[in-house]
């Protein structure tokens, strides 16, 4: 998620407008959505807040306690509501939770941030939501930045989880260095009304997304009222007070649970060279699924295909032994 003055939005491809975002044309109205979408986001869920190392962390829960656990994890600057139209499709058979990291969405801000603390938030939410109480260990499904946090969890706490599904989180080869979020921090801009704020919403990293109904939904949950109008919920200085963690390649190889990887086939962050490098790190023994016609934000670009692929992976794990021993 990003906005007009956010330095994370940079190097935009030529087809993306530099002024305004894709939601500007709707002037605050809801974009048209397919028939399945309103029912999905209307599915009931519980909302909880728990203290994790001195900060309140928010999460949502669908399904029945006691069922196998499934934890959804969002990316940079995002929040649990990115999964509102995905999680209900798993609630019949799973105890499903989606957390919001501290410094983002409706969770509290911290003085400092680090990967180990974000990982601790994952484990704490899984514990509080009862994900460890099911008939088998829970699975984490994590997108983008959330995938990097999950690599820490898999290496440090992986024995508590059945597996982790990493969604378009690139572990780059040495010749392709990571380009993380900008360390610059700027105060959020205040927008006079909701329509003006929505018009500035863009994805980060920047990409086109034809499903404006999904973008509009997550954008509305990304905003809050402020004196003089509307502004974004996430901590604008989070990356100025962030301590990076261990190398992603080392963490991936150190995973103590199963691993599967989903990428957008058209993702600029996960080209074939990154796919092949990650496969090599894992001994070419893990599922690696490419979603056609999807870019980095896979669940926005192709939500139904993403749901189908994830269902397939989970069903396979439910009925097989791991090929890669951990």
Instruction: Look up the CATH number of the domain holding residue 243.
Output: 3.40.50.1820
Which two structure tokens, joined as six digits, stand for 214? 């999904």
Q: What is the pLDDT of residue 284?
A: 84
In a domain, 35, yes or no: no
**33 within domain boundaries:** no
Is 50 in contact with 57 (CB distance < 8 Å)?
yes
- On whether residue 19 sits in a domain, the answer given is no
CB atoms within 10 A of CB 194: 15
In a domain, residue 50? The reply is yes
pLDDT at 10 over 80: no
CB 107 within 8 A of CB 141: no
Contacts of residue 211, Cβ cutoff 8 Å, sequence gap at least 6: 300, 301, 303
pLDDT reading at 299 higher than 50? yes
Q: By percentage, how much of the chain surpasses pLDDT 70?
A: 90
The answer to whether 125 and 224 have CB atoms below 8 angstroms apart is no
pLDDT at 113 over 50: yes
Q: Between 220 and 246, whose confidence is greater?
A: 220
Confidence of residue 180 (pLDDT cuts 50, 70, 90): low
Kindly state whether residue 192 falls inside one of the protein's structural domains: no
- Cα-flanking dihedrals φ and ψ of residue 260, to 5°? -135, 150
Domain span including residue 85: 44-177+232-318
DSSP code of 92?
A: T
CA dihedral 204, 206, 209, 213 (to 10 degrees): 40
Could you read off the pLDDT of 102-111 as tens digits, one per residue? Answer: 999 999 999 9
Q: Given this model, what pLDDT does residue 2 score?
A: 31
Q: Is residue 213 part of a domain?
A: no
Whether the Cβ atoms of residue 124 and residue 57 lie closer than 8 Å to each other: yes
pLDDT of residue 187: 87
Query: C-alpha distances in angstroms, 6 versus 39, 53, 77, 101, 297?
Result: 33, 28, 11, 19, 18
Per-residue pLDDT averaged across 115-122, rounded? 98
Other CB atoms within 10 Å distance of the CB of residue 253: 15
The reported pLDDT for the residue numbered 179 is: 65
Residue 134 lies in a domain: yes
Structure tokens at 1: 């998620």
| Total domains present in the chain | 1
Q: Is the pLDDT of residue 3 over 50?
A: no
Residue 113 domain flag: yes
Whole-number pLDDT of residue 37 = 98
pLDDT digits (tens, 9 = 90+) for 42-85: 999 999 999 999 999 999 999 999 999 999 999 999 999 999 99
Q: In percent, how much of the chain has pLDDT > 90?
A: 84
What's the pLDDT score for residue 182? Answer: 62
pTM: 0.92
Please, are residues 145 and 75 in contact by the beta-carbon 8 Å criterion?
A: yes
């Amino acid at each position: 998620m990003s906005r007009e003055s956010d330095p994370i939005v940079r190097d935009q491809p030529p087809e993306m407008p530099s002024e305004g975002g894709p939601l500007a044309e709707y002037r605050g109205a809801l974009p048209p959505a397919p028939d399945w979408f309103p029912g999905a986001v209307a599915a009931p869920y519980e909302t909880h807040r728990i203290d994790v190392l001195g900060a309140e962390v928010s999460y949502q829960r669908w399904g029945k306690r006691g069922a196998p656990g499934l934890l959804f994890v969002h990316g940079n600057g995002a929040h649990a509501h990115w999964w509102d139209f995905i999680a209900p499709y798993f609630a019949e058979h799973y105890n499903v939770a989606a957390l919001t990291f501290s410094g983002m969405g409706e969770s509290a801000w911290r003085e400092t941030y680090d990967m180990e603390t974000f990982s601790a938030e994952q484990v704490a939410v899984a514990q509080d939501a009862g994900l460890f109480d099911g008939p088998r260990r829970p699975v984490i499904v994590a997108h983008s930045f959330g995938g990097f946090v999950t690599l820490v969890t898999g290496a440090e706490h992986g024995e508590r989880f059945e597996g982790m599904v990493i969604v378009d989180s690139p572990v780059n080869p040495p010749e392709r260095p990571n380009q993380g979020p900008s360390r610059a921090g700027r105060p959020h801009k205040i927008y006079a009304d909701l329509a003006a704020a929505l018009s500035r919403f863009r994805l980060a990293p920047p990409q086109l997304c034809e499903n404006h109904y999904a973008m509009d939904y997550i954008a509305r949950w990304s905003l809050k009222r402020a004196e003089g109008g509307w502004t974004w919920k996430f901590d604008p200085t989070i990356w100025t007070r962030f301590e990076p963690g261990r190398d992603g390649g080392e963490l991936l190889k150190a995973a103590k649970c199963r691993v599967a990887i989903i990428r957008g086939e058209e993702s600029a962050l996960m080209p074939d060279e990154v796919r092949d490098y990650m496969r090599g790190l894992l001994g070419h023994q893990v599922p690696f699924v490419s979603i056609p016609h999807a870019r980095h934000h896979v669940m926005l670009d192709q939500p139904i295909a993403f749901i189908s692929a994830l269902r397939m992976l989970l069903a396979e794990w439910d009925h097989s032994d791991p090929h890669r021993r951990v």
